[in-house]
Structure 1
């Protein structure tokens, strides 16, 4: 194991991502709500058109427009049949028996004309090419639950078809969503309508989180010299927000055997994230375990950033391990910059962070030789530090983004353009 080597944030992101790859593809049924939020492993195309058949867009009467006068003059036609959603379209021919024609009167020519009573969504009978809404006919309206008995109906030419043609929404073979896209309720709906029963997705990552420190205790404890274990809760919440299933180990004492046992208990996960124990102190248990030989591919680094300078990467029993500092703001920043992209890659998503630029609405100072990562709040005039001191835990609930300021800046002035990383799940 080599000593710490200063590197940039971008270099440490690259080193972190080199340790993970997208998880296996699983075919997940559209009936399983667990499919929501997962990333598609492959492009998804329609297996069938939507609509699957020509159908009525209105309650009314299916007609052949050729049977209606060109000048819009009203015409009375016989009702030949009735069709409703979920039932096959009736076979209504161009010709009908003369005995049936008598009900419509002598005005009906030998080449039979007529209409079919049709409800919204019902299949359009073959040979019919338009629907006249019921409210624009002599019937006026249909009454639910009451049998329809009209033998004839009076109507005029309509300018609109009121027909949903097969494949006009989605054609068979159309691309519904691309690999890497997130499964949403809308995608579930269109996939089901287009004849699919399952989607190819990357399974949800399983992440184990723990914090190290003999001073850490359970919530609510008031034992002298102890502090609540807020870090493992924060890391678990961040991992869950990133779409992972989380195994929260909690606090582990500063003892190598305790940390080793805790890591062994979660060796079946896809990623381990720990906080604390990566600095240069005599009790830094993570560094002790990293030097003990059990982990492989150990990379202990000093990243030229504040907060969050000490970082470590390793592999434990084949599982990638990201070790971040124990300071709560450092841990938060480190998870956002390094662990979150790793989770995105595991889940089959684009791992690049959605950076943007914003104007500073307040001035602040920056460390001279490190990239500053500062929790900020977005306002109408730009971004401001989320707290008087960005190292304080109180800054986190107020922040909706992290400002990333390059080294050597020294001072951010009002109106300066800064790079910001919006925080997931937080609306500015």
Structure 2
């Protein structure tokens, strides 16, 4: 008989199982926007400096700061410098009208904002030569130096970085159109059970619609996995074995991970346990509620995770084990944000079991429970925005007590 494994120990076992998958995966080159949410495969070094040239931070006048004494100076107005132009060098005794983002002319080392000029408007070039009175300015004022953001040849993004809008924007600013990301992992997701039918089919007495497939596939896609679904497997172990072997063999259809839901407890018709009788898979209790029964190992060399069949149990299993293991091994998805929140009600939890309740965290920093502890409460799960973590050594919590919550 297995002594219940701790949540932390089981999560570490999943990390160790998936580490072998990571070692065997390659990289792919994709357009920038297709990299959103994926992990960068290699270090990226800046092919150019940003900014690529010194430019103005303000609308104003580009000047030679040494030509303006403490009392100010009157300078002749040179040709204006619009953004996108390559300006002529600034001649001594001149100030060049310059727009925000425009290239600083050679010879200029500062910009005086238009608001500080007299007159405080740009002159009309069609009116002929004009002059402007400007106050003193320190060298470098309102000048964005070349490379002040990042210099050519320096590390822009490290391998493993999760690619979000800001990271993709940086690569675009560097002129890149593609990026190397880690090849997505393929997971076979199999729902089991004679009692389960696909949504849209006829619902006869004693049967239920499959929500697990949708719950887990959506979660897996959100986590960056490529999901393969083959429909529902009934309670015939030989049929389940044939299905799994089709995707475990080295072939075009082969997958990196197999995940099943249902059939992992100790009942008489636990199809997953029966099918795995000759495989290197352990079925063991984890000291967690819901989601205690778990399967973990390899099916003909392919990492295998067997989740319980109740909807909340299978989702909690994914959130507590597979998702954080992927974050640890692959770098994506980002870990769930962890917060501390105050309970809006009293709670009781079973001794020795890490309980995960579904809750809603409000703007006032309190969390109220959604539904009870039951693993079938899908409606309550849909209302929740957080998983409330209650450690196994805690049995009673009062209103106002702080708890850890994982934001969904």
TM-score range, shorter chain: 0.7 to 0.9
Tell me whether 1:153 sits opposite 2:153 in the alignment.
Answer: no
1:374-412 CA deviation, whole Å, 9 max, x = no partner? 223324363333213443223211222223333353333
Contact 2:323 2:333 in 1 (8 A): no
Change (3 A) 1:390 1:415: farther
From 171, 175, 186, the equivalent of 1:206 is 186
Which of 288, 292, 295 is 1:309 aligned to?
A: 292
Partner of 2:87: 89
Native 8 Å contact 1:137 1:153 kept in 2: no
Work out whether 1:228 is the aligned partner of 2:213. Answer: no
Conserved in 1, the CA contact under 8 Å of 2:15 and 2:326? no
- Where structure 1 has 5 or more consecutive residues not aligned to the other structure, the ranges are 95-111
Q: Report if the CA contact (8 A) 2:71-2:136 is conserved.
A: no
CA distance in 2, matches of 1:132, 1:412: 63
Q: How far apart, CA to CA, are the structure 2 residues paired with 1:352 and 1:139?
A: 52
1:381/1:62 Cα in 2 relative to 1: closer, same or farther (>3 Å)? closer
Q: Deviations over 1:290-349 (max 9, x none)?
A: 00x3x4x31211112222221101323432111111011211211111121233245334
TM-score of the two chains, using structure 1 as the length reference = 0.81
The CA RMSD measured in Å over matched residues stands at: 3.0
> Among residues 233, 247, 265, which one is paired with 1:252 in the alignment?
233
2:39 is the alignment partner of 1:56: no
2:367 aligned with 1:383, yes or no?
yes
With over 3 angstroms needed to count, the CA separation of the structure-2 counterparts of 1:134 and 1:14, relative to structure 1, is closer
Structure-1 residue corresponding to 2:349: 366
Q: How many residues align?
A: 394
Q: CA contact under 8 A between 1:176 and 1:187: conserved in structure 2?
A: no
**Would you say the 8 A contact 2:75–2:93 is kept in 1?**
no
Structure 2 partner of 1:77: 76
Local SS of the residue matching 1:19: helix
Specify whether residues 265 and 342 from structure 1 end up closer, same or farther in structure 2 by C-alpha distance, changes over 3 A only: farther
Alpha-carbon deviations, 1:334-372, whole Å to 9, x = none?
111112123324533499776554433322222234332
Over 3 Å counting, the alpha-carbon distance change for 1:346 and 1:369 in structure 2 is: closer
Aligned to 2:106: 126
User: Residue deviations 1:46-71, cap 9 Å, x none?
Assistant: 34322121122334443223333531
Determine the structure 2 residue equivalent to 1:100: none
Report the structure number with the largest CA radius of gyration.
Answer: 1
CA positional deviation for 1:125: 1.9
Q: State the alpha-carbon separation in 2 of the partners of residues 223 and 148 from structure 1.
A: 85
The answer (yes or no) to whether the contact 2:41–2:160 under 8 Å persists in 1 is yes
